[in-house]
């Protein structure tokens, strides 16, 4: 079964990356807490911690948390555990004294019956100490992942410079992910492989997963699943020749997708087919154009068009982000703001360059400019914000460059992943299908109860009490749900622009 999942994380400042979950076993092993596991297993992931003494904590839980309680209002352990499990809590921690001298036997029995891990917190350990220990473990795990990704990027880059770069990159990837990496040909056969052998069932499942991608234009760029007891992932390379990278590992870490993405870019560049003379001439014309040559000077080699200009900002922070974007959109040229245009992935830098028709390059760090035939589809790209011009002939590229810049500014202002230039007034700027797709993507992190609470809250102009009455829930539940919406969406809900965008998104779902 193929999957695409996003881990739930505790609310963190927007400037920090999300922290990976911590297994309960790591918290149990903390020497200063004295925690004891009474039921369930310690291999469940903890995404955050929450304390509640409510008789029914269900309305206050968001899932994945370690729920801590002293049992102040515990009257029916069986029903209490059922509600905790229904809410999706990862584990339950019960503090003994002052209410109970020992953990109630009925609570232990109910947790064991439902498979909910139950932890005894001794009298000497305050709940705040448990919460602080969990946050520290999550911070350590995040730092470890950042270091692991950085070291892997360096290792892959070094492998790409070796005499046999493709096997070297696959070997470095397999080593960093502690698994197997396979380069599949378009017909599904293994072209090159590295890493440890996997069971035949896993190898077959990985080949089938790679076949899901295929060379279809506009098809999925990646897929993931399970097979033979291993975690599987497949990535389509950007060279246009139908090659696919398959990865099989025992576990899937938070940074594994980023590491594999770097390998995909490198392998796409290393396996790209040799280009014909006409393509080389066209690329030379594009380079001259981006360096400031007038379109009339290069139109003969460039061709009349139509052409599309794309401005982009974002990426994942790796040195190969711009090259990966160019490969995904099907053009070999990238003009990063403040650097000369270059073949995607060359990594060279030069003095500041001009854009199409002599216009200045990107005006902010992280800006990327691309020029590609209008027949090439431009779709939203993960972690990138794109502004796309209308199709134009070669002599109108300067105007298209300005259109793309304005479209990018609108995309950043509205939080959209992609905005196209659309003349004809405000109404013409919003395509209903694109609005629906954007709304679904924007609101994807929200569960149905969270989205409905946000809709009612916005319709009542942020009134806590009126929202609580309208939904027949407690006002504290409204506050918790709205705070959770802000954390999942990464938006400031006090900003009127954000409220307006979310309202239109909720109306366009």
Determine the structural domain holding residue 123 and report its residue range: 22-136
My answer on whether omega of the bond before 98 falls inside 30° of 0, hence cis, is yes
Q: Which of 270, 297, 319 is the last residue of a domain?
A: 270
pLDDT value of residue 349: 29
Q: 22-23 and 91-95: which strand pairing? A: unpaired
CA-nearest of 468, 371, 386, 448 to 419 is 386
* Domain shared by 306 and 399, yes or no: yes
* Domain shared by 132 and 28, yes or no: yes
What is the tens place of the pLDDT at every residue in 15-38? 334 567 889 999 999 989 999 999
* Domain shared by 285 and 228, yes or no: no
* Domain shared by 313 and 422, yes or no: yes
CA distance 173 to 194: 8
* Domain shared by 425 and 471, yes or no: no
Identify whether 149 is part of a domain. Answer: no
DSSP 363-413: SSTTEEEEEEETTS-----TTEEEEEPPPB-GGGHHHHHHHHHHHHHHHHH
Identify whether 144 is part of a domain. Answer: no
Q: Which of 387, 412, 429 is the last residue of a domain?
A: 429
Let me know: does 313 contact 384? Beta carbons within 8 Å. yes
CA distance 169 to 181: 9
The long-range contacts involving 154-163, CB below 8 angstroms and separated by at least 24 positions, are 156/259, 156/262, 156/263, 156/266, 157/262, 157/266, 157/319, 159/266, 160/266, 160/269, 160/270
Sequence length of the chain is: 509
Let me know: does 148 contact 255? Beta carbons within 8 Å. yes
Identify whether 17 is part of a domain. Answer: no
Q: Which of 237, 270, 303 is the last residue of a domain?
A: 270
Q: Residue 442 is part of a domain; what is its CATH number?
A: 1.10.10.2840
The long-range contacts involving 202-206, CB below 8 angstroms and separated by at least 24 positions, are 202/227, 202/228, 202/229, 202/230, 202/232, 202/248, 203/228, 203/248, 204/228, 205/232, 206/182, 206/232, 206/234, 206/246, 206/247, 206/248
Let me know: does 191 contact 245? Beta carbons within 8 Å. no
* Domain shared by 355 and 389, yes or no: yes
pLDDT value of residue 5: 33
What residues contact 55, with CB distance under 8 A and at least 6 apart?
73, 74, 75, 80
* Domain shared by 457 and 425, yes or no: no
Q: Residue 120 is part of a domain; what is its CATH number?
A: 3.40.1390.20
| Paired residues of 235 in beta bridges | 222, 245
* Domain shared by 124 and 201, yes or no: no
Judged by phi (left if over 0) then psi (alpha if -120 to 50, else beta), residue 457 lies in: alpha
Identify whether 16 is part of a domain. Answer: no
Distances in Å between the alpha carbon of 156 and those of 150, 169, 173? 10, 6, 7
* Domain shared by 41 and 116, yes or no: yes
What residues contact 290, with CB distance under 8 A and at least 6 apart?
333, 335, 341, 353, 354, 355, 356, 369, 371
Q: Residue 247 is part of a domain; what is its CATH number?
A: 3.30.450.30
Residue with tokens 């070997």: 171
CA angle 316, 320, 326 (to 5 degrees): 95
Let me know: does 239 contact 327? Beta carbons within 8 Å. yes
Helix (H, G, I), strand (E, B) or coil at 421: coil
* Domain shared by 402 and 291, yes or no: yes
CB neighbour burial string for 332-369, b if at least 16 within 10 angstroms, e if fewer: bbbbbbbbbbbebbeeeeeeebbbbbbbebbeeebbbb
Helix (H, G, I), strand (E, B) or coil at 282: helix
DSSP 485-508: HHHHHT--TTSHHHHHHHHHHHHH
Let me know: does 418 contact 386? Beta carbons within 8 Å. yes
pLDDT value of residue 393: 81
* Domain shared by 304 and 336, yes or no: yes
pLDDT value of residue 236: 83
Which of the residues in the chain have pLDDT under 50? 1-17, 336-365, 427-428
CA-nearest of 316, 413, 400 to 356 is 400
What residues contact 141, with CB distance under 8 A and at least 6 apart?
19, 20, 21, 22
Identify whether 116 is part of a domain. Answer: yes
The conformation of residue 162, written as its DSSP 8-state character, comes to S
Helix (H, G, I), strand (E, B) or coil at 65: strand
In the chain, the number of structural domains is 4
Identify whether 187 is part of a domain. Answer: yes
Identify whether 7 is part of a domain. Answer: no
* Domain shared by 112 and 54, yes or no: yes
Q: At what angle do helices 448-459 and 475-489 cross, to 10 degrees?
A: 110
Let me know: does 109 contact 38? Beta carbons within 8 Å. no
CB neighbour burial string for 208-229, b if at least 16 within 10 angstroms, e if fewer: bbbbbbeeeeeeebbbbbbbee
Please report, to the nearest 10 degrees, the dihedral formed by the alpha carbons of residues 139, 140, 143, 149 taken in order.
-120
Q: Whole-prediction pTM value?
A: 0.47
Let me know: does 90 contact 24? Beta carbons within 8 Å. yes
Q: 384-388 and 367-373: which strand pairing? A: unpaired
């Amino acid at each position: 079964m193929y999957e695409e999942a996003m881990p739930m994380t505790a609310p963190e400042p927007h400037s920090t990356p999300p922290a990976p979950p911590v297994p309960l076993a790591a918290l149990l092993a903390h020497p200063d807490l004295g925690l004891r596991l009474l039921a369930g297993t310690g291999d469940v992931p903890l995404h955050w911690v929450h304390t509640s003494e409510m008789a029914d904590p269900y309305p206050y839980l968001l899932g994945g948390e370690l729920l801590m309680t002293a049992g102040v209002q515990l009257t029916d352990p069986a029903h209490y555990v059922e509600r905790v499990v229904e809410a999706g809590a990862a584990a339950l921690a019960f503090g003994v004294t002052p209410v109970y001298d020992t953990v109630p036997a009925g609570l232990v029995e109910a947790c064991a019956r439902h498979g909910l891990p139950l932890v005894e917190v001794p009298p000497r350990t305050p709940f705040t100490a448990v919460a602080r220990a969990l946050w520290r473990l999550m911070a350590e795990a995040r730092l470890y992942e950042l270091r692991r990704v950085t070291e892997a990027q360096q290792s892959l880059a070094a492998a790409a410079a070796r005499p046999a770069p493709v096997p070297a990159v696959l070997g470095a990837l397999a080593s960093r992910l502690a698994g197997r990496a396979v380069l599949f040909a378009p017909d599904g056969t293994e072209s090159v492989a590295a890493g440890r052998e996997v069971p035949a069932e896993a190898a077959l499942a990985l080949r089938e997963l790679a076949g899901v991608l295929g060379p279809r234009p506009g098809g999925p760029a990646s897929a993931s699943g399970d097979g033979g007891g291993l975690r599987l992932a497949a990535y389509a390379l950007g060279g246009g020749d139908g090659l696919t990278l398959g990865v099989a590992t025992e576990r899937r870490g938070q940074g594994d997708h980023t590491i594999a993405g770097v390998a995909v870019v490198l392998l796409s560049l290393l396996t790209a087919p040799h280009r014909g003379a006409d393509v080389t001439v066209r690329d030379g014309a594009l380079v001259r154009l981006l360096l400031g040559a007038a379109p009339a000077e290069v139109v003969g080699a460039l061709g009349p068009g139509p052409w599309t200009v794309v401005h982009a900002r974002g990426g994942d922070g790796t040195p190969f982000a711009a090259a990966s974007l160019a490969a995904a959109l099907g053009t070999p040229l990238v003009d990063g703001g403040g650097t000369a245009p270059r073949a995607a992935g060359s990594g060279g830098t030069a003095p500041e360059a001009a854009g199409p028709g002599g216009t200045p390059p990107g005006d902010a760090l992280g800006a990327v400019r691309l020029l590609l035939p209008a027949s090439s589809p431009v779709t939203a790209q993960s972690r990138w914000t794109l502004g796309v011009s209308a199709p134009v002939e070669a002599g109108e590229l300067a105007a298209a460059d300005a259109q793309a810049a304005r479209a990018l500014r609108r995309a950043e202002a509205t939080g959209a992943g992609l905005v196209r230039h659309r003349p004809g007034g405000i109404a013409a700027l919003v395509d209903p299908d694109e609005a629906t797709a954007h709304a679904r993507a924007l609101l994807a992190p929200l569960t149905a109860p969270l989205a409905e609470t946000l809709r009612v809250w916005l319709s009542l102009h942020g009134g806590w009490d009126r929202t609580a009455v309208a939904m027949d829930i407690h006002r504290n539940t409204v506050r918790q749900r709205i705070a959770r919406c802000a954390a999942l969406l990464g938006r400031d809900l006090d900003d009127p622009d954000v409220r307006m965008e979310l309202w239109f998104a909720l109306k366009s779902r």
